[in-house]
Amino acid sequence: MTTSTARACWLAEPGRAELRTEALPAPTAEQVQVRTLHSGVSRGTETLVYRGEVPASEVERMRAPFQSGDFPGPVKYGYSSVGIVEEGPSALVGRAVFCLFPHQTRYVVPAAAVHVLPDGVPPARAVLAANLETAVNALWDAAPRVGDRISVVGGGTVGLLVAWLAGRVPGCVVEVVDTQVARREVAERLGVNFAVPEAARDEADLVIHASGRSEGLATALRLAAFEATVLELSWYGQRDVSVPLGGAFHSRRLLLQSSQVGHVAAAQRGRWSHRRRMELSLSLLTDPALDALITDTAPFAALPAVLARLAASTADPTLCHRIDYA
């Protein structure tokens, strides 16, 4: 039976989130009503939004698919929701689905906006789908070659997913570089090497930077071999970034390239839709080793406090923080 209200997490203003009750429309024949099981906090982007650091030039490009409100707030933001279809086309009712929807107990969206979870992908792991989609797009942009030495600077959720994917390319030797030594255990569970910056291997054929810090970008440039590509996957919002383009940057003929998930990577764009890319990402989530990336869980009622904690410190060791709904 259709439920007429839901609870949603809103950023009332930068630095303050709250739960609000809102009305749900009755689904039409082309829509589904979803009851949320889990959602994931995309730590880098969502804490940047929480702090009110979305640049004025990016307020439209940064909009999530089902965002309500506007930056800097009030705004309902998020894009990693997993739930059960309660109403809609018979082929979907009762199925577990992923949707790029904010943190909310129930919601109504077009049936075309949900993705049925593949067999072997548990709902609790599927919250990684949006981050994995970013990692897939990054690997498409980076175009690693068989046998490459690859360094991933920044062992957050996206960086570790990039490393996991790169480690599956035949012959590639992948090293995650991070200042937090605790990330070594997760990296090793994903089948890749780990090093702190001062001990990292240099002469990398490909470097992917995902630390979100200027120091990490400097490390990425330092590790790159002659004519190597450094793929910049971090997004800094309003923060100024110091890029060390002196030293060996020119003599090594390095290529510094951006990557962002909003557009399908150029090499794939003529054949791949956003939907096909998401379906690929979901199909890759059958590996139980990926559960190591979900380091924290909390009930939906605690979400405002979770966002405040994650936004307060870049040293917090949390990777993916899953929110569980009763």
| 98-140 pLDDT per residue, tens | 999 999 999 999 999 999 999 999 999 999 999 999 999 999 9
Q: Quick check: is 265 in a domain?
A: no
Q: What percent of the chain has pLDDT over 70?
A: 99
User: Can you give the C-alpha Rg of the chain in angstroms?
Assistant: 20
**Does any domain span residue 264?**
no
Asked whether residue 137 is assigned to any structural domain, the reply reads no
Residues 6+ apart with CB under 8 A from 106: 3, 6, 24, 33, 34, 35, 36, 83, 86
* Residue 188 CB coordination number (10 Å): 13
Which of 223, 258, 293 is the endpoint of a domain? Answer: 258
User: Which of 201, 232, 258 is the C-terminal boundary of a domain?
Assistant: 258
Same domain, 18 and 108: yes
Give the containing element (helix H, strand E) for 69: strand 68-69
Say yes or no: 168 and 244 in one domain.
yes
- Among 148-152, 203-207, 314-318, where is mean pLDDT lowest? 314-318
Question: Both 167 and 234 in a single domain?
Answer: yes
Domain boundary among the residues 258, 283, 304 is at 258
117 and 213 within one domain: no
Per-residue confidence band for 316, with pLDDT thresholds at 50, 70 and 90:
confident
Tell whether 183 is covered by a domain. yes
Band (pLDDT 50/70/90 cuts) for residue 326 is confident
Note down the domain range covering 198. 144-258
The pLDDT of 22-40, averaged and rounded, is: 97
User: Does residue 35 sit in the same domain as residue 80?
Assistant: yes
> pLDDT digit string (tens) for 153-177?
999 999 999 999 999 999 999 999 9
Does residue 135 sit within a domain? Answer: no
CATH of the domain at 246: 3.40.50.720
DSSP codes joined into one string, 37-57: EEEEE-HHHHHHHHTT---GG
Question: ω before 170 within 30° of 0 (cis)?
Answer: no
pTM: 0.95
Same domain, 34 and 120: yes
Instruction: Output the pLDDT for position 314.
Output: 77
Q: Does 154 share its domain with 83?
A: no
Same domain, 253 and 280: no
Residues 80 and 181 in one domain: no
The structural domain count of the chain equals: 2
179's tokens: 């200042």
β-pair type (173-177, 115-116) = unpaired
Contact in structure between 82 and 117 (CB atoms under 8 Å): yes
112 & 16 share domain = yes
Q: Is 165 helix (H, G, I), strand (E, B) or coil?
A: helix
Is the same domain home to 152 and 249? yes
Identify whether 27 is part of a domain.
yes
Is residue 32, in this structure, part of any structural domain at all?
Answer: yes
Residue 235, pLDDT > 80, answer yes
Task: Determine, yes or no, domain membership for 110.
Answer: yes
Same domain as 12, residue 56 = yes
Tell me, what CATH number does 38's domain have?
Answer: 3.90.180.10
Classify 220 in phi/psi space as left (phi over 0), alpha (psi -120 to 50) or beta: alpha
Measured CA to CA, the distance from residue 166 to residue 86 in angstroms comes to: 38
